[in-house]
Chain A
Amino acid sequence: MLSEKIIEERLYIEKISQDVKGVRAQMKKDNLVTLSVRWSSAAAILLFSFFSIYLVQLNTRSIIEEKCYTNYTRSSQSENEKDPPRLEVALQQINSENYEEAVEILNGLPDSDHKDWFLLNANLGLEDFEQVDQLMGKIQNDEEHLYFDQIDNYLLYDIYLLKLKRKIFN
Chain B
Amino acid sequence: MFFIKKNNYSSKQIIENIKNRKNYEKTIRELYKLYFDKVKVLILKLNGTNEDAEDVFQDAIAKVIWSIDKDQFKGEAHISTYLFTISKNMWLSTLKKRNRYDVSYDNITVDGKQEDDVDFTDELPLTGGDDLDTKHRFRELLNKIGEDCQRLLTYFYFQQLTYEEILTKFKGKYTSEKFIRNKKSRCINYLRKGLENSTEKISDLLDNISECLDKK
**B54 at the A interface (CB under 8 A):** yes
Taking a contact as CB atoms closer than 8 A, the residue among B62, B63, B191 that contacts A7 in the complex is B191
**B32 at the A interface (CB under 8 A):** yes
**A143 at the B interface (CB under 8 A):** no
| Contact (Cβ within 8 A) B66 A23 | no
For the A-B complex with A6-B128, A12-B158 known, give 18 more contacts whose Cβ atoms are closer than 8 Å.
A1-B192, A7-B191, A7-B195, A9-B126, A10-B125, A10-B126, A10-B138, A10-B191, A11-B158, A12-B66, A12-B157, A13-B59, A13-B125, A13-B126, A14-B142, A16-B61, A16-B65, A17-B62
| Contact (Cβ within 8 A) A13 B196 | no
**How far is B124's CA from A6's CA once the two chains are assembled, in angstroms?**
12
Which residue of chain B is the closest to A4 with respect to CB atoms? B188
Contact with B along A1-35 (1 / 0, CB 8 A): 11010111111111111011101101100000000
| Contact (Cβ within 8 A) A13 B25 | no
Q: Which residues of A contact B154 (CB under 8 A)?
A: 11, 15
Q: Which residues of A contact B63 (CB under 8 A)?
A: 13
| Contact (Cβ within 8 A) B157 A23 | no
| Contact (Cβ within 8 A) B32 A12 | no
Which residue of chain A is the closest to B184 with respect to CB atoms? A4
Closest beta carbon of chain B to A17's beta carbon, Å: 4
| Chain A count of residues within 8 A CB distance of the other chain | 22
Contact with A along B179-216 (1 / 0, CB 8 A): 00000000010011001100000000000000000000
| Contact (Cβ within 8 A) A24 B192 | no
Instruction: Give residues in B with beta carbon < 8 Å to A.
Output: 25, 28-29, 32, 54, 58-59, 61-63, 65-66, 69, 125-126, 128, 135, 138-139, 142, 153-154, 157-158, 188, 191-192, 195-196
**How far is B28's CA from A16's CA once the two chains are assembled, in angstroms?**
11
| Contact (Cβ within 8 A) B66 A9 | yes
Closest beta carbon of chain B to A87's beta carbon, Å: 72
Q: A2-B196, A7-B188, A14-B138 are in contact. Are A24 and B158 (CB under 8 A)?
A: no
**How far is B32's CA from A24's CA once the two chains are assembled, in angstroms?**
8
Q: Which residues of B contact A16 (CB under 8 A)?
A: 61-62, 65-66
Q: Which 7 residue pairs spanning A and B have beta carbons closest together? A: A16-B62, A9-B125, A17-B62, A23-B28, A13-B62, A2-B192, A16-B65
Q: A1-B192, A11-B153, A12-B157 are in contact. Are A17 and B126 (CB under 8 A)?
A: no
Q: Which residues of B contact A10 (CB under 8 A)?
A: 125-126, 138, 191, 195
Q: Which residues of A contact B69 (CB under 8 A)?
A: 12
